Structure formats: C-alpha cells, structure tokens
C-alpha cells in the first residue's frame, strides 16, 4: 500500500509501498511522566515566639510530549507576644508556577485527534519528523498530488512542539493578625487578609501548519482583601459553659483581565507577537469589583460537656444586589447531645445525637442589574454596538440556601467500632438565576430570583478496628452517601428548562432537562424506537427508527462512597483506598466518533455467520420506497454463508419480526447521533491509592543523628476495577462549560502515578 510518506518527495519512502498493518495503536504517543517533589520545613519556637518556614518545589513532566510544569512555593508563618496580652501573627505564602503546553482535551484537541480521528497503521515515531523537504507534513494528506497542507490534522507533534502554550501563575496569600486578651474569658481579634494572584497566558498557532498563524496573550489578576474584627467570650458557670463570638467582615474582590489576539495571520515568519498581526488585533479589557460586608453573632451554650445549643445570626450585604435591598439575614440553630455521658459501663463508648438548621446567602454576580451594550469591532471606522440577549433585572437580590441536618455518631467497644449516620436536606430558594427564554420574546434569557431545588440524602460511615494487637493493627472504614436532587419550582409560567450539551447537528441534540417536580439533570435525546423491548427497524432502509427528545435516564449517581483500609505491622504501614459510585450516566462522544469512523473495536469481529463484519454483503438487497435496491442492506434470511455485515434484528413498525445484515460502515454511520447508543452507566469501582510506608526504628535514626526517617512508595489511580467503558473513569470526566461532568470527548487517558517518598525529620 502507498502510505502517506510515499507521497512526500523528500521522504526516504517516497514512491514505495509498505505493508498496511496496525502499528499498535496510540499508546506510543504517550510517555511516562515524572513528578519530583522537594519539601523542606524549618521550625523554631521559644518564649513568646514561633517561626515556621516551608520551601516546596514540584516538577512535573506530563505523559504528553513537550508538556511540563514547575511549581515553587515558599511560606512563612510566625507569631510573637508583644505583651502578655497582645499577640501578633502573620502568614505569608508565595507561589510561582509555570506551565508549558497544558494538554487540551475536547473537540479539535490533540486528544480528539489521537483518540477520535486516527489511523491504526500510523507509525507514531515517523510523525515526529513533521518537517520534510522544507515543508510541514502530516499523515492526514489531502491526496497523492496534494500532500501539503494537510486536510484536517497536523501531525500531533507539530501541535505539541510548534503550537506552544505558556502559562504562569504567581500568587501571594498572606495575613496579619492581632489578638488581644482583655481577660481570660474575653479576647479580641483583628485580622487583615490578602490574596493576590496574577496569571499570564500565551499561545500560538504556528506558521506553515494547517491553520492561519496566530498569537494570543492574556493577563488576569484577582485581588481579594478581607478585614475581620471579632470579639470572643468564653466562660464556664458551674455546669454551664458559654461562648459567644461576634464580629464584622469587610470584603473587597477585584478582577482584571487584558487579552489580545492577532487577526488574519502574522507578518514575520517564525516570530510571534501581537504587534505583527496582519490586521488590527483584537483587544479586550475586563475589570470587575465587588464589595460585601457582614455582621454576625454566634452563641454556644453547653451543659456538662453533654448538651450543646448553638445559635447564630448573620447579616450580609453585597454591592451586587439591588441597592434598595442588598442585605440577606440568615440564622442558624443546632443542638447536640452526647447521651453516652449518662450511661455507665456500656458497650457504647460514645454516643452523640445532633440536629440543626443552617442558612447561607447567595448573591447575584457583578453587573447583572442594569443593561449595557456590547462593543463590537468597528465597521470601517463606524461604531458598532449590540444589545444584550439577556434581560437585565434591577430588582435582583440575594437568595438563601438552607440546610437541615440530623445525625448521630456512635462508638462501640472502646472505640473499636463506629457508626455515623447523617440525614441532610438542602434547599435553594429564590437564588439569582438566569432563566432561558423562548427566543421569540426577542431575548435568550432573563435574570430573576426564582426557583426552588432540594438536595436530600443520607451519609453513612461505618468504621472499625477489626484487629489490634501489639504488632498489628487493621483500621477500616466504609462510607456511602445518597443524593436526590429535585427541581421543586423553576419560575412563574415555566416548568421546564434545558441545558444543551451536543450541537443539534450531532443527532438532534442531547440536553439535560430540569422539570418541575422531577429530578435534576434528566437526560433527553435521540433514542432508537422500541416496541415491546424490540428495536424498530425500517424495512425500506434497514436502519433503526429513532425518536428525538426521549427520556434516557439521569446523569447523577444514586450512591457514592469509599472504602478505606490501613494495615500497620510494626513499622510498616499499608494504606489501600478505594472509591465507588452506583448509577448515573455519561455520554461518550469518543465512542460515537470512533465507531462511525471505524476506529472502534466494535467495528471489527465476526458476525452471526462467523464472517468478518467488514466483509462484503452477499444476499438479496432490500428495496426502498421507489423499488430500487438498497445496496448496503440484505435480508438476513437471504444471506449466503460467506456474507459479511453487521447482523441486526428487531421488528418493523407493525411489530413483525425482521432481520438484516447491514454493511459495517453504513451500520456505524447510521448509529452516529443515536444518543441512546452512546450513553453509559457511570457506576465504577476504583482502587484509588495504595501506599506502603516504613518508619525507621528510633535505634537507627538515633545512630545517624536524626529524629525520624520514613520511606514510602505509592501508586495513585492504581486500578479501575469496574466501569462500563473499561478505559473511562467516570469520576474523571472532563469539565465542560456548564460545570457538569457528563461528557467524554477526546479526553486524555487517566494517569497512574508511581511514587517514592522520603521524609526526614532533623
């Protein structure tokens, strides 16, 4: 076969035929990454002062070509007594991180190239040689006489080595605090906290590749200041204890960003800058500021360390709400009862009941109250302004999140066995939300205070020490949590709202639907029609009959949890942590693409007749409505013994049994967009971490003159024991714009990390 290299004149294989065989897949594209971490801490304390200095360096080389990250962090904390009553303290941490080529996922990324649009015969190493005979070359040639530029894809190594992306982040987090002791039961505290963060990004689309060269750069900063003053009272009166904390907070948050991008190409080959943009570059500046204040009082009453009653009141103000109504008052009340205090000599070593209600404010985002007009690029010097597709709302105010919780903590047999059970119900009411509007209103959305959603469930943890003797201890804990998230109310006159996930081009769309009275996050999309559990097939085309906008389940899992074990034998400790999830759904774009493009495993193998599915059909073609042969479908009963094709069976619209062999390529081509076929169960079980540590005995450490030495080895993301798609971990699905992890498309593989850790205490 003449492969791509044979059409590149300067290539040594020019004009030659080479065997068309699989080259072992894309595994070779990934390297083994390396993560090195150094962490040193210095401590010193004395009469009236304490100091701590920590230096951390973390180097990460990713498993993708030419991608790495370096992290430096220095933190210092110290405090000293100025006088017996006044203490001053500070914490400062400085972080400097730089990243080269943070790998991209999703449509059009390197991930989607190697996973969705690939060819199994490609020699990965040959693709590193993407510059040949003065041209940039790629495997994805347009045709024999048209080898450059490529059709849809540059070489993945062109992407990683030429289309460079740099990112850096520098941040300072610090505070200064003053503590003053009036008496032993009354103290005052004043603290000033600051978080300042700057990020810089640049990225390029390199010259000579598939796309028009481009350079982008942006700067982003965030500055948060918090001033906090509080008075704390803490005193015991006989069997009673009282503590009260009252205070106030002043908050200020500022964002700033500048971003620019070249337009329509760059003028100096090999040089990337905004100044060398062919046309006037895009320039965008955004700044936002919000301020908030709060006053609060929390009072706790205790009786004999057995009964506690805790009440709080808080008022928050935010600059982002309607100025005439910019505060939210929230209250809380919790009670707990350690009833084991009343029992003596029981198998119950500790028993506690608690219950409470807590509230929290939720304010609108900045600048959502009054209308502004969008600045568009000028049209040949003429100003251009657009109207907003959202209706602004001057009346927007803060809403309240409320949480009710009841629980118990029980410890039995001298704490050898424990049981924690919690019931919770969170309610979001009248939070500021953007509601989608029917476009015929002239708008796409409106911001309102509306809706009600509840999150209800149980959290249960059982922990125990099945074995404990002088040499060996086994601690174990299993926990699970249920969650039912319900949409109680959306808005006046609206009982359904959809979040679209897939462009309608790809199979009529895939949406997550929120409907009043139903669970949050119901999946709707195209489904193969069924009659009595049998798939319906159209006898005139041999394709499945589909229906759009069908309920396909819920994306949220029913149960999540973990199983944690720690075994300690003398100085050796082994930790094995597992986590799991039951129920939920996710959609795999990768599966849909690789099956329709013939890369998927499902597109090979033998059919019912024992012949490769890719072999040609041999039998009687079905006829379409015009009476013409449909040349990619034969009636199953007419198939000759040597026929290839995918076997499908089901019923026609009247319920009669039908069966066909369909040309493999057509079968998978037709499945494209049938959402129901690429939706997977999000249940999984994973051995997340394994860690084996050895503490050197004191005898040895004393000999070498140090206080402690621990050597440990660990594996993170150790084994995915069970999941619907064997290579996809549903807990690590890529993030989408909507913050709902529900889709997988061109996602890079999960990374298993092996590590060695040496910890020395001097």
Partner 1 sequence: MKKIILYTALVSLLISSCSEVDFGDTNVDPNAPSAPLASALLTNALTRTEHIYSATRPSMYVQYLANEQYEDESLYRTQRFDYTYDYVTLTTLNKIINLNTDPETADLVGANQGSNANQIAVSRLIKAFIFHTMTDRWGGMLPYTTANQGLESKFNVFDSQLDIYTALLKETEDAIAQIDSGSGPTGDIFFDGNMDMWKTFGNTMMMNMAMRLSKKAPTLGQEYFNKAINGGVIASNNENIYYPYLASEDYDNPWEDRFTTRSDYLISEPFANA
> Smallest distance, Å, CB 53 to partner 1?
38
From 44, 280, 698, 752, residue interacting with partner 1 (rule: CB under 8 A): 280
Is residue 534 close enough to count as binding partner 1 by CB under 8 A?
no
Q: What are phi and psi of 274, to 5 degrees?
A: -70, -35
Question: Candidates 46-54, 332-340, 379-387, 451-459 — which segment interacts with partner 1 by CB under 8 A?
Answer: 379-387
Is residue 240 close enough to count as binding partner 1 by CB under 8 A?
yes
From 21, 83, 269, 385, residue interacting with partner 1 (rule: CB under 8 A): 385
Looking at the DSSP bridge assignments, the partners of residue 189 are: 179, 230
> Smallest distance, Å, CB 747 to partner 1?
24
Q: How many amino acids of this chain bind partner 1 (CB under 8 A)?
A: 75
Residue length of the chain:
762
From 82, 86, 268, 375, residue interacting with partner 1 (rule: CB under 8 A): 375
From 39, 287, 346, 735, residue interacting with partner 1 (rule: CB under 8 A): 287
Q: How far is CA 275 from the centre of its chain?
A: 36
> Smallest distance, Å, CB 542 to partner 1?
17
> Smallest distance, Å, CB 442 to partner 1?
4
> Smallest distance, Å, CB 612 to partner 1?
26
Name residues contacting partner 1, limited to 547-576 (CB under 8 A).
none
Name residues contacting partner 1, limited to 410-449 (CB under 8 A).
437-444, 446
Query: Residues 594, 600, 606, 607: is their CA dihedral positive or negative?
Result: negative
CA distance 488 to 480: 25
> Smallest distance, Å, CB 743 to partner 1?
20
> Smallest distance, Å, CB 237 to partner 1?
6
> Smallest distance, Å, CB 373 to partner 1?
5
> Smallest distance, Å, CB 443 to partner 1?
6
Is residue 183 close enough to count as binding partner 1 by CB under 8 A?
no
> Smallest distance, Å, CB 314 to partner 1?
7
Question: Candidates 20-28, 125-133, 316-324, 633-641 — which segment interacts with partner 1 by CB under 8 A?
Answer: 316-324
Is residue 358 close enough to count as binding partner 1 by CB under 8 A?
no
Q: Please say which residue, 511 or 609, places its beta carbon nearer to partner 1.
A: 511
> Smallest distance, Å, CB 324 to partner 1?
7
Name residues contacting partner 1, limited to 491-530 (CB under 8 A).
493-494, 504-505, 508
CA distance 636 to 655: 17
Q: At what angle do helices 589-597 and 664-671 cross, to 10 degrees?
A: 160
CA angle 442, 444, 447 (to 5 degrees): 115
Q: Please say which residue, 84 or 323, places its beta carbon nearer to partner 1.
A: 323
Exposed e or buried b for every residue in 533-556, given b needs 16+ CB within 10 A? eebbbbbebbbbbbeeebebbbbb
Is residue 314 close enough to count as binding partner 1 by CB under 8 A?
yes
Q: How far is CA 466 from the centre of its chain?
A: 36
Is residue 369 close enough to count as binding partner 1 by CB under 8 A?
yes
Strand, coil or helix: 102: coil
Name residues contacting partner 1, limited to 126-155 (CB under 8 A).
142, 149, 152
> Smallest distance, Å, CB 384 to partner 1?
5
Q: Please say which residue, 260 or 620, places its beta carbon nearer to partner 1.
A: 260
CA distance 475 to 466: 7
Q: How many CB atoms lie within 10 A of CB 678?
A: 23
Looking at the DSSP bridge assignments, the partners of residue 723 are: 684
Q: Please say which residue, 171 or 278, places its beta carbon nearer to partner 1.
A: 278
Is residue 489 close enough to count as binding partner 1 by CB under 8 A?
no
Burial class (CB in 10 A: 0-12, 13-18, 19+), 91: middle
From 291, 354, 425, 518, residue interacting with partner 1 (rule: CB under 8 A): 291
Is residue 367 close enough to count as binding partner 1 by CB under 8 A?
yes
From 289, 341, 456, 579, residue interacting with partner 1 (rule: CB under 8 A): 289
C-alpha separations of 522 from 485, 490, 679, 725 in Å: 11, 15, 13, 21
Q: Please say which residue, 77 or 290, places its beta carbon nearer to partner 1.
A: 290
Question: Candidates 80-88, 288-296, 476-484, 676-684 — which segment interacts with partner 1 by CB under 8 A?
Answer: 288-296
CA distance 495 to 501: 20
Is residue 373 close enough to count as binding partner 1 by CB under 8 A?
yes
> Smallest distance, Å, CB 388 to partner 1?
9
Q: Please say which residue, 509 or 730, places its beta carbon nearer to partner 1.
A: 509
Q: Name the strand (E) or helix (H) holding 115.
A: helix 110-116
Q: Please say which residue, 13 or 291, places its beta carbon nearer to partner 1.
A: 291
> Is the bond into 149 cis (omega within 30 degrees of 0)?
yes
Burial class (CB in 10 A: 0-12, 13-18, 19+), 599: buried
> Smallest distance, Å, CB 736 to partner 1?
20
Is residue 267 close enough to count as binding partner 1 by CB under 8 A?
no
Q: Please say which residue, 357 or 467, places its beta carbon nearer to partner 1.
A: 357
Is residue 315 close enough to count as binding partner 1 by CB under 8 A?
yes
Is residue 210 close enough to count as binding partner 1 by CB under 8 A?
yes
Q: Please say which residue, 20 or 373, places its beta carbon nearer to partner 1.
A: 373
Q: Please say which residue, 145 or 382, places its beta carbon nearer to partner 1.
A: 382
Exposed e or buried b for every residue in 623-636, given b needs 16+ CB within 10 A? eeeeeeebebbbbb
Contact 458, 419 (CB under 8 A): no
Tell me which residue of 109, 116, 111, 119 sits closest to 595, measured CA to CA. 116
In terms of phi and psi (left: phi > 0; alpha: psi -120 to 50; beta: otherwise), the region of 393 is: beta
Tell me which residue of 357, 369, 287 sits closest to 321, measured CA to CA. 369
Is residue 283 close enough to count as binding partner 1 by CB under 8 A?
no
Is residue 244 close enough to count as binding partner 1 by CB under 8 A?
yes
> Smallest distance, Å, CB 746 to partner 1?
18
Is residue 628 close enough to count as binding partner 1 by CB under 8 A?
no
Q: Please say which residue, 224 or 293, places its beta carbon nearer to partner 1.
A: 293
Question: Candidates 62-70, 132-140, 312-320, 337-345 — which segment interacts with partner 1 by CB under 8 A?
Answer: 312-320
Q: Please say which residue, 17 or 394, places its beta carbon nearer to partner 1.
A: 394
CA distance 247 to 249: 7
CA angle 76, 256, 74 (to 5 degrees): 15
From 34, 40, 43, 329, residue interacting with partner 1 (rule: CB under 8 A): 329
Q: Where are any strands of DSSP class E within 206-326?
A: 214-237, 240-266, 277-303, 307-318
> Is the bond into 555 cis (omega within 30 degrees of 0)?
no
Looking at the DSSP bridge assignments, the partners of residue 278 are: none
Q: Please say which residue, 313 or 417, places its beta carbon nearer to partner 1.
A: 313
> Smallest distance, Å, CB 516 to partner 1?
15
Q: How many CB atoms lie within 10 A of CB 589?
A: 22
Is residue 706 close enough to count as binding partner 1 by CB under 8 A?
no
Question: Candidates 383-391, 528-536, 554-562, 698-706 — which segment interacts with partner 1 by CB under 8 A?
Answer: 383-391
C-alpha separations of 157 from 1, 138, 163, 209 in Å: 24, 10, 9, 11
CA distance 659 to 539: 9
Three-state SS letters, 678-724: HEEECCEEEEEEEEEEEECCHHHHHHHCCCEEEEEEEEEEEEEEEEC
Q: Which residues contact 439 (CB under 8 A, 6 or more apart)?
A: none
């Amino acid at each position: 076969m003449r492969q791509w290299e044979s059409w590149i004149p300067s290539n040594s294989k020019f004009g030659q035929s080479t065997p068309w065989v699989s080259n072992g897949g894309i595994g070779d594209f990934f390297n083994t990454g390396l993560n090195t971490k150094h962490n040193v801490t210095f401590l010193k304390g004395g009469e009236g002062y304490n100091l701590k200095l920590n230096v951390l360096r973390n180097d990460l080389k990713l498993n993708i070509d030419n991608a790495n990250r370096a992290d430096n962090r220095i933190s210092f904390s110290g405090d000293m007594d100025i006088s017996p009553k006044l203490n001053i303290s500070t914490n400062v941490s400085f972080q400097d991180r730089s990243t080269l080529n943070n790998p991209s996922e999703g449509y059009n990324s390197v991930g989607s190239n190697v996973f969705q649009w690939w060819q199994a015969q490609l020699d990965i190493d040959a693709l590193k040689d993407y510059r040949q005979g003065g041209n940039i070359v790629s495997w994805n040639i347009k045709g024999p006489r048209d080898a450059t530029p490529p059709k849809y894809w540059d070489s993945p190594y062109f992407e990683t080595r030429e289309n460079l992306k740099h990112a850096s982040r520098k941040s300072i987090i610090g505070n200064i605090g003053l503590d003053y002791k009036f008496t032993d039961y009354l103290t005052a505290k004043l603290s000033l906290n600051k978080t300042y963060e700057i990020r810089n990004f640049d990225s390029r689309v390199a010259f000579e590749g598939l796309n028009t060269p481009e350079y982008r750069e942006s700067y982003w900063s965030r500055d948060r200041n918090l001033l906090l003053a509080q008075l704390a009272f803490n005193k015991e009166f006989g069997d009673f204890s009282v503590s009260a904390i009252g205070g106030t907070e002043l908050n200020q948050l500022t964002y700033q960003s500048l971003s620019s991008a070249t337009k329509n190409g760059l003028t100096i080959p090999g040089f990337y800058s905004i100044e060398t943009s062919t046309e006037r570059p895009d320039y965008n500046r955004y700044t936002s500021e919000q301020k908030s204040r709060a006053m609060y009082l929390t009072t706790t009453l205790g009786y004999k360390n057995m009964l506690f009653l805790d009440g709080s009141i808080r008022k928050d103000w935010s600059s982002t709400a309607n100025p005439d109504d910019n505060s939210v008052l929230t209250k809380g009340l919790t009670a707990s009862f350690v009833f084991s205090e009343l029992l003596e000599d029981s198998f119950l070593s500790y028993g506690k009941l608690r219950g409470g209600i807590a509230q929290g404010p939720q304010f609108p985002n900045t600048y959502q109250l009054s209308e502004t007009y969008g600045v568009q690029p000028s049209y040949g010097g003429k100003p251009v302004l657009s109207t907003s597709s959202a209706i602004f709302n001057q009346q927007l105010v803060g809403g309240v999140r409320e949480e009710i919780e009841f629980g118990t903590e029980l410890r039995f047999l001298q704490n050898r066995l424990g049981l924690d059970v919690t019931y919770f119900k969170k309610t979001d009411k009248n939070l500021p939300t953007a509601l989608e509007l029917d476009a015929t209103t002239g708008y796409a959305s409106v911001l309102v205070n509306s809706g009600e959603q509840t999150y209800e469930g149980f959290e249960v943890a059982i922990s125990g020490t099945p074995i404990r003797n002088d040499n060996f201890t086994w601690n174990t804990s299993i926990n699970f949590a249920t969650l039912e998230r319900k949409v109680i109310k959306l808005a006046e006159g609206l009982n359904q709202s959809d979040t679209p996930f897939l462009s309608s081009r790809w199979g009529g769309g895939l949406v997550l639907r929120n409907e009043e009275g139903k669970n949050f996050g119901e999946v709707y999309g195209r489904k193969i029609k069924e009659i009595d559990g049998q798939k319906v097939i159209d006898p005139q085309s041999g394709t499945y009959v589909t229906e759009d906008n069908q309920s396909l389940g819920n994306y949220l899992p029913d149960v999540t949890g973990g199983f944690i074990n720690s075994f300690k034998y003398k100085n050796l400790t082994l930790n094995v942590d597992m986590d799991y999830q039951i129920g939920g759904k996710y959609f795999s774009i990768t599966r849909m693409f690789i099956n329709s493009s013939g890369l998927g495993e499902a597109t090979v193998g033998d059919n019912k007749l024992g012949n490769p599915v890719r072999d040609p059909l041999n039998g009687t073609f079905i006829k379409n409505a015009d009476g013409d042969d449909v040349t990619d479908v034969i009636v199953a009963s007419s198939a000759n013994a040597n026929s290839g094709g995918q076997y499908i069976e089901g019923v026609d619209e009247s319920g009669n049994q039908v069966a066909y062999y369909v040309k493999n390529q057509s079968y998978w081509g037709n499945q494209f967009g049938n959402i129901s076929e690429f939706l997977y169960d999000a249940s999984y079980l994973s051995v997340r971490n394994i860690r084996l540590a050895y503490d050197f005995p004191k005898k040895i450490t004393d000999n070498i003159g140090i206080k402690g030495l621990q050597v440990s080895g660990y594996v993170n993301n150790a084994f995915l024991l069970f999941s619907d798609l064997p290579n996809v971990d549903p807990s690590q699905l890529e993030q989408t714009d909507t913050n709902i992890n529900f889709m997988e498309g061109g996602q890079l593989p999960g990374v298993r990390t092996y590590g060695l850790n040496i910890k020395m205490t001097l």
